[in-house]
Amino acid sequence: MILVASIDQPPEVVAFIREALGLSPEARSDDIGTLYQAMELELPLQPDIVFKDGERLYFVEVKSNVTSIDTIARMQLLRELWHRREPDRSAVELVLATRTIRPREEQLARELGIRVIKLPRTLGPALQSEFKPSKSKITSEKSWKIVSRLLKEKCTSIRQLALQEDVSYGWAHKTINVLMSQGIAKKNDSYVQISDVKKLLNGIAWERPMKNLNVAEIPISFSDSIPAARDITSMLSDQNVSFAFTGYTAGGLYTGYAVRQDAVYLYLDKKHLDLFREIFSEPGRSSIRAWIYAPDRDVFTDTRQKEGITVVSPAQTLLDLAGFGYSVMDLTRAMVDMYDTL
């Protein structure tokens, strides 16, 4: 059986690549997030198309033009992460499908074992563009205030975004320009709105993967995540320790989605790790695990109480969920869908 998963690529482009790879035309479309989730992957990177033919996977990047090594470097990183995290999974072949590519980049791709497919310029509409990292990060503290407010308001002016979040107009304008340059937002007269949520979430996963903030994974003496989070909230509050739950824990409480019962996720300053271990750690038992993250910004001021549990704000929860990548995409999209009501 051949499985195809693609991200908004024209069907004629998918068919051309499939034929160029010599695969069967018998294939069904699926969502890459679902494919990653089925394989229990937590990779922050995503190809544009995935073909699965027997035991072999084809990760395909589709670009209009390749004029730098950025795309090739990202593909190589994806393969390296795959082999490190999933050594027993299916073999992976990298494929770069593009209309034009500079000779230097084409030679480098072939040296790295990346198959290059030349797409006809007349094939399909404009190809989907990649998320291109900018010097101005959309996940920085001030920029995320603007982005998350735009998600909440859906359609508003840059001036209103600046006023509502107490951010300078210049910074708000710069942030919106970055979103527009990435194809994430669009402007109609004086109003702006998010036009591509999937690309936004992909950009967040690129810029701020939560694994980079993870400082500890501690087995704790609880059997269920919600009672654990409730007791941790009570006991750390008694110790006057700053903390807040995030990720699956906060996202499940905000959206009503089922919460993972085998783990809790929370922010905690590194200086409190020894105290946390002293109070809650119980190695050697079959227990749930606490994933601890060191905050890279103020996450403790705007916390909320949900069912007796201290959680980060909806804006912070959404940012963090996106940073977990495709393993939690369904919950992230649910958070986006109801974000204006939170």
The CATH number of whichever domain residue 79 belongs to comes to: 3.40.1350
Would 25 be classed as within a structural domain?
yes
Asked if residue 50 and residue 22 are part of one domain, the reply reads yes
CATH number of domain containing 275: 3.30.460.40
Give the pLDDT score at 124: 56
In a domain, 195, yes or no: yes
In a domain, 126, yes or no: no
Q: What average pLDDT score do residues 5-33 get?
A: 64
Nearest CA among 92, 20, 36, 103 for reference residue 67: 103
At 261-288, the pLDDT tens digits run 789 999 999 999 999 999 998 766 657 8
Q: What is the count of structural domains for the chain? A: 3
Q: Is residue 133 part of a domain?
A: no
- Asked whether residue 298 falls in the same domain as residue 194, the answer is no
Q: Among 179, 178, 174, 149, which residue's Cα sits nearest to residue 161? A: 149
> In Å, how far are 222, 288, 292, 297 from 283, measured between CA atoms?
11, 10, 16, 30
222 shares a domain with 175: no
Give yes or no for residue 218 having a pLDDT over 80.
yes
Q: Are residues 111 and 172 in the same domain?
A: no
Mean of all residue pLDDT scores within the chain: 83
The CATH number of whichever domain residue 171 belongs to comes to 1.10.10.10
Going from the C-alpha of 324 to that of each of 33, 172, 201, 202, 328, the distances in angstroms are 12, 26, 10, 10, 7
Question: Domain span at residue 150?
Answer: 141-207
Q: What is the mean pLDDT of residues 38-52?
A: 64
Domain contains 14: yes
Q: Tell me: pLDDT of 131 over 60.
A: no
Shared-domain flag, residues 202 and 97? no
